[in-house]
Amino acid sequence: MLNSTNVFFVLPDPVYNQEQCQIYPNFTKADSSFLYVTLLENMYEIFSVLFPKVDLFVCLNEKDEEILSLKTSSPFLSDNLFYFNEDTFTNEFVSIFDKRKAGVKNFIFVHPDFVGLTEADILQMLDLLLLEDDVLLLKKTLHKKIVLFATNKFQNEIPRLMHKKNFVCDSALKKLCALDYQFYKLKNVFSLAHANDFKELYKMLSRKENYACCSKKMHDRFTHLFIEYKELL
């Protein structure tokens, strides 16, 4: 099952480029970048426990390319790392998607700006993708934004519905509904969209039942930010 699944991490906005990344409320540019990179690498790490890295594709804004090229090490496979121009995001993502492995049946698309996904959640998704029905799985944040969807029946229309700012916006979701899938809405996850969300993230990661949402390494990275911005907690 794992060998018949490709995972695409899609980040339309720069995250490694500190000068170009979006500023999280009350954060410096450097710490905003650190936060977004940690969210991405945490999600990649969780999936890489279950999937070989050759099945994990990372799609980043071209403004991150120079920064990543200067890094001495990267968690990503270089052959599975792609960059696109934000002005032509949808068309370029379609082109990137054409590089997927031949014969793959199942696809998971992730906008990795959230916390709350565990290995158990991924295994649940894989079980649903085994159903004989044409399945589409959705995960939303508590702010009602779609940040993950998966399917066991690929249609060429799917990557064309992905938008730069909203990943999968409401109008695109309506078009997906018209493609005759069996829909499953999975447990919501937590994203950082507003200033107060940082405090809520601290509370969430402090609870024992959420320890599986990130490794100790990633938890330490979040803790660094909690210490740095303790006045926001």
Q: What is the pLDDT of residues 95-112, one digit of tens each?
A: 666 666 667 889 898 999
Residue-averaged pLDDT of the chain: 86
Domains of the chain, with CATH numbers?
Answer: 2-193 (3.90.550.10)
pLDDT digits (tens, 9 = 90+) for 61-74: 999 999 998 887 88
CA distance 78 to 146: 27
Q: How many CA atoms lie within 13 A of 198 on its CB side?
A: 22
Percent of the chain exceeding pLDDT 90 equals: 50
Q: pLDDT confidence of 37, banded at 50, 70, 90?
A: very high
- Min mean pLDDT across 29-33, 208-212, 228-232 is at 208-212
> Does the pLDDT of residue 164 top 70, yes or no?
no
pLDDT at 102 (0 to 100): 66
CA distance 143 to 127: 26
Is the Cα dihedral 189, 114, 146, 123 positive or negative?
negative
CA distance 138 to 177: 12
Q: Burial level of 147, CB count in 10 A (0-12/13-18/19+)?
A: buried
- How many DSSP H helices and E strands does the chain contain? 8, 9
Cβ atoms of residues 54 and 81 within 8 Å: no
Cβ atoms of residues 60 and 9 within 8 Å: no
Single out the residue of 110, 132, 117, 111 nearest to residue 181, CA to CA: 132
